[in-house]
Structure 1
Amino acid sequence: MPHHDTTALSGIIKHVFAHRFTLEAEGQTHLADLGPKGAQAFPLSPGLAVRLEGERRPSEIKVTRIETAGREPVQVEHKKPNHAPGHQHADAPADANVVLAAARKAGWESRGEPRRKPKHFEVLARQGQGGWSELHIDFAGAIYKQKPADAEKWSLSA
């Protein structure tokens, strides 16, 4: 698991995008993620002066604590990704054939090429004449997530 440095910043919120926001601090613009539950507990608004602490990631700061004058500080817990037991990480060999074989073994008929992600493949598949699903299959061949296929994402006709 990569280690992320912690950071603390004080600044002004400039833009709000649901639970993410930009913070002007120390002469720079920072993207910060409060998470949906954090945004419910600590409403965000442009122009608000805040102090935050969080984990600096390559793309954003995952806020773990945020406060402003006149409000109680809010601690934020970010849920870890939902991966199958024994989930393989990105350094494991990524073989689309292993993934497709795992889907077939579980009774799924796939369509098109698997889409490689950093830690898994996404596969468009269905069982029998059922509806299309998006399967998330890790590099070891474990299907750890199944959801209805997004017609636009997978270019499915109605």
Structure 2
Amino acid sequence: MPHHDTIALSGVIQHVFAHRFTLEAQGETHLADLGPKGAEAFPLSAGLRVTLEGERRPSEIKVTRIVAPGRDAVLVHHKKPHHPPGHHHPDGPADPARVLAAVKAEGWSAKGEPQRKPKHFEVLARQGRGPWTELHVDFAGTIYKQKAADPAKWSL
């Protein structure tokens, strides 16, 4: 599981989108997620001054604690992501050669080197002259996800 830095900010809520909101703090705008149950326990409104703590994610701050003047602090517990059946995360070693061999054995031709992620590799590949596809391959060599390759990500 990736490690996310903890952050604490004080500022003013600018915009509210259901359980997400933008917070103007320290001269910057931050996107924060309170979660549906957190938003029930702590109603959000534009112009409200708050202090929050949370985990900094690539796209937003997952709020774990929020408080405003005259209100009690609310602690927020976010559910861990649920991965669908067939989503593999074996504890084996991360071997790009094994991943490329598995991709080839399934009839795919890989382009470039596999991109290492914490629990899998991402491989740009295609079958025959078909479309380029992003494959997610676990460390055991199982292809568990296929999606159209994003030209911006893969420089196509």
Give TM-score, length-normalised by structure 2.
0.60
Tell me the CA shift for residue 133 of structure 1. 0.5
Report what 1:100 is aligned to.
100
Q: Distance in 2 between matches of 1:138 and 1:20?
A: 35
Residues of 2 paired with 1:131 and 1:36: CA distance? 37
1:133 corresponds in structure 2 to 133
Change (3 A) 1:44 1:78: farther
**8 Å contact 1:35–1:78 — kept in the other structure?**
no
For residues 54-93 of structure 1, what are the structure 2 equivalents within 5 Å? 54=54, 56=55, 61-64=61-64, 77-78=78-79, 80=81, 82=83, 84-88=86-90, 92-93=92-93
How much does 1:125 deviate?
0.6
Alignment correspondent of 2:153: 153
What is the TM-score of this pair, normalised by structure 1? 0.59
User: What is the alpha-carbon root mean square deviation over aligned residues?
Assistant: 4.5
Measured against aligned partners, the alpha-carbon deviations of 1:106-132 in whole angstroms (never above 9, x if no partner) come to: 221111111112222110011222111
- The runs of 4+ residues in structure 1 deviating greater than 6 Å are 2-7, 35-38, 40-44
* 1:115/1:64 CA distance change after superposition, 3 Å: same
Structure 2 residues not aligned, in runs of 5+: none
Structure 1 residue 2 displacement after superposition? 7.4
Deviation by residue 1:92-117 (Cα, 9 ceiling, x = unmatched):
42111111111122221111111112
Aligned length: 145
- The percent identity for this pair of structures is 48
Unaligned runs of 5+ in 1: none
Which residue number corresponds to residue 12 of structure 1? Answer: 11
CA change 1:86–1:132 in 2 (3 A) is closer
**In the alignment, residue 149 of structure 2 is paired with which amino acid?**
A
